Amino acid sequence: MHRTLDRTAAIDPAGAAPGNGETGGATDGELVRRALAGESRAFEGLVRRHGPRVQRTVRRHVPGDAAQDVVQEAFLRAYVSLANYRAAEGALGDWLVTLAVRASYDHWRARYRRREASGPRFAESHQAWAERVTQARSVEAFEEETARREAREVLQLALARLSPEERLVVSLVHLEGLSVAEAARQLGWSEINVKVRAHRSRRKLRTVLEPLLEPLPNRTPEAK
């Protein structure tokens, strides 16, 4: 099979010159064939082409300090299992995103195994932010609050309270807004599994968020 792929790449008139590492006008399929034929520069072309998208995906699921490792892991998996990629089943970029999501999932599973996932709880500043954002009277005020540092901190703290499975499914379905079918494809789970977990995970996320909506301690006497 290697020889067949090699020959195909050699006679492909649209293929870029082998060995120069530039993707040129080569399609993903051509680069995949050349990478499978042992041309690592062709794979480097794929990394340069799809790296930004893979990195964006990973950085949505994994903290910045760990993202670089997970991006590397995702591309390494892509290289090792490149022959499993079937062009007929979807674009290469989508396949790489799937690998990136699964590598992110494995990152969280490893962290949970090492018991590194549980972090600090919500602070008063987070409660104050929740109060402001839920009482925002205009779209501008709401947008301004969502851009604050506290918004990302609350998001990370809330997600840290979920299991790796819950975290990923909440991120993909509720936060990113993917369909159940698309999330199932990225996670490698059945659609029913995703649907059930998405429902349970959202319920748990709400339970996690509820303390943020409690009155702030210094205002409790006034409330009484």
Chain positions contacting other proteins, by CB under 8 A:
1-2, 5, 35-36, 38, 40, 43-44, 47-48, 51-52, 54-56, 59-60, 64, 68, 71-72, 75-76, 79-84, 130, 133-134, 136, 142-143, 145-147, 151-152, 154-155, 158, 171, 174-177, 205-206, 209-214
Kindly state the smallest distance separating residue 187's Cβ from other proteins, in Å. 17
Can you tell me the distance from the alpha carbon of 206 to that of 146, in angstroms, rounded to the nearest whole number?
18
Closest Cα partner for 41 from 56, 19, 59, 61? 19
Report DSSP letters for 83-109, one per residue. GG--GGGS-HHHHHHHHHHHHHHHHHH
For other proteins, the closer of residues 118 and 134 by Cβ is 134
Q: Are 76 and 100 in contact (CB under 8 A)?
A: no
Q: Are 65 and 107 in contact (CB under 8 A)?
A: no
For other proteins, the closer of residues 72 and 192 by Cβ is 72
Kindly state the smallest distance separating residue 79's Cβ from other proteins, in Å. 5
Can you tell me the distance from the alpha carbon of 140 to that of 196, in angstroms, rounded to the nearest whole number?
35
Kindly state the smallest distance separating residue 66's Cβ from other proteins, in Å. 13
For other proteins, the closer of residues 73 and 165 by Cβ is 73
For other proteins, the closer of residues 17 and 80 by Cβ is 80
